[in-house]
Chain A
Amino acid sequence: MENPLLFKVSLSFSAHSIARQLSDRISYIPDAKQVYLNTLGIYAVEFYLRCMGFETDWEMGDSRDAKMLKFLNIADLPVRGIGKLECRTVFPDDRVCLVPPEALENRIGYVVVCLDASLKQATLLGFTPNADREIPLDRLQSLDELLTYLRQLNRENDSRRLALVFRQFLAKVHRVFGI
């Protein structure tokens, strides 16, 4: 394939109205703004993943829970059967993406989304499976690699689930037949 492709997502009513709903619950203004921007970032990543055939459970994420958002700067997006991606936003002049410490746990990876100043357009820049407090944008892996990574995790989870079912089956055989 040619050069790694970025992915552009328009942000309109549906993105902004979720952002508004969630940020409306936050009284401290800087936090409300952060929640608003985080929500737009998650929306863009969710849109991309749905286009690529993955299913997401954003409603189940901590990032949709107003009580969690009052305490934590988090932007998690659960991908069904795979795990949680953290979606962090930057602006066009940024060279690094900051990840707050509360968003460093229980994540399978970090997707970085660039928002333009009009907040009408988001561009998915890439991802990294592991992050420290700062992600240099020139070290991001491509979206292609993100998809490969998600498929691989999905396969691993599938085989783990199968192994579990098989073990449970053996245990049952053992109980019933005493072998």
Chain B
Amino acid sequence: MVASIDYPECQLQQLALEAQKYSPRHPQRQSALTQLVNLIQSSNQLGHPQCPSFLSHAYEDIYNEALQRTLLHVCQKIENYRPKHPVMAWVNYLLNYHVKAVINEYYHQGVTYIPTNRNDRDRSVVLSVDSLEEFLLESDRSNDSYQEEALLLRKFLEEDPENFLGTTHIRGRPDITFQRLAWRKYVEDRSWGDLSQEFGISTQTLCSFFNRNLRKFKLYFDRHLQF
């Protein structure tokens, strides 16, 4: 049986057995797994399990999702590989299983995977750069929920109900408060470079102050904004 194993299969098996010898995160294991994954991806021996025709428009994405799960499975559970079978037989068995699982999820949770525009059934949730831009432009970001959220956040920044935002400032610069920076960033959409010029202070100092305090105020934000 071993004699019938062709060259890439032989290499795949070597890599799989090599990976098995080491504990997770061992450099030898990581190196073997990386090569194994690369070789599986480039081999033309990956199967193409069947998919019901009503999902055929999404086949590529179903397949990709299943392949990702398969590769993760291979890396995390390489111990489960038994050398009496070819590696590709094991991989294709897993791929078959994961395609079924993905179809199951795709079918049952179909609504979450089909974009808001439900009349256009060919458009998958997997968007290209162009279709992403189109999608964003078409998405009605001026609608009530967006407007309301933006309004609430503006109001919160302005009113600062517990008086934290306006009293927290950069050391030695009481004029540069968190409140002022947040307003410039969120409402006026100004860049850090811009603000650095305006206040005559380095971008890094501004960012560092802002980051640290935004994290500190997270609970404060959460107390007053329910989104």
Closest approach, in angstroms, between the C-beta of A117 and any C-beta of chain B?
5
In the docked arrangement, what's the CA distance between A78 and B70, Å? Answer: 24
A101 touches B60 (CB 8 A): no
With A119-B132, A120-B64 already in contact, the answer to whether A53 and B141 are too (CB < 8 A) is no
A100 touches B192 (CB 8 A): yes
Closest approach, in angstroms, between the C-beta of A13 and any C-beta of chain B?
5
Judge whether B75 is part of the interface by a CB distance below 8 angstroms: yes
A10 touches B68 (CB 8 A): yes
A10 touches B34 (CB 8 A): no
By size class, the interface of chain B is 35 or more
Judge whether A11 is part of the interface by a CB distance below 8 angstroms: yes
With A36-B132, A51-B71, A53-B25 already in contact, the answer to whether A67 and B221 are too (CB < 8 A) is yes
Closest approach, in angstroms, between the C-beta of B79 and any C-beta of chain A?
12
Interface positions, chain A 44-100, Cβ under 8 Å from B, are 47, 50-54, 62, 65-68, 70-72, 91, 100
In the docked arrangement, what's the CA distance between A72 and B139, Å? Answer: 22
B34 touches A5 (CB 8 A): yes
Return the CB mask of A119-161 against B: 1 if under 8 Å, else 0.
1100000000000000000000001100110010000000000
With A27-B150, A32-B136, A105-B207 already in contact, the answer to whether A12 and B65 are too (CB < 8 A) is yes
A-B Cβ contacts below 8 A, count = 140
B68 touches A12 (CB 8 A): yes
Return the CB mask of B61-101 against A: 1 if under 8 Å, else 0.
11011011001100110000000000000000000000000
Closest approach, in angstroms, between the C-beta of A108 and any C-beta of chain B?
16
Closest approach, in angstroms, between the C-beta of A17 and any C-beta of chain B?
6
A120 touches B60 (CB 8 A): yes
A143 touches B34 (CB 8 A): yes
Task: Chain A residues near B139: list those with CB within 8 A.
Answer: 24
Across the A-B interface, the 6 shortest Cβ-Cβ residue pairs: A53-B24, A12-B65, A10-B64, A51-B75, A12-B64, A53-B25
Residue ranges of B at the interface with A (Cβ–Cβ < 8 Å) = 24-25, 27, 29-31, 33-35, 37-38, 41, 60-62, 64-65, 67-68, 71-72, 75-76, 102, 105-106, 112-113, 125-130, 132-133, 136-137, 139, 141, 146, 149-150, 153, 182, 185-186, 189, 192, 203-204, 206-208, 210-211, 214-215, 218, 221-222, 225, 227
12 A-B residue contacts at CB 8 Å?
Answer: A13-B106, A16-B126, A23-B136, A24-B139, A47-B68, A50-B72, A51-B75, A70-B153, A70-B186, A102-B192, A102-B207, A117-B129
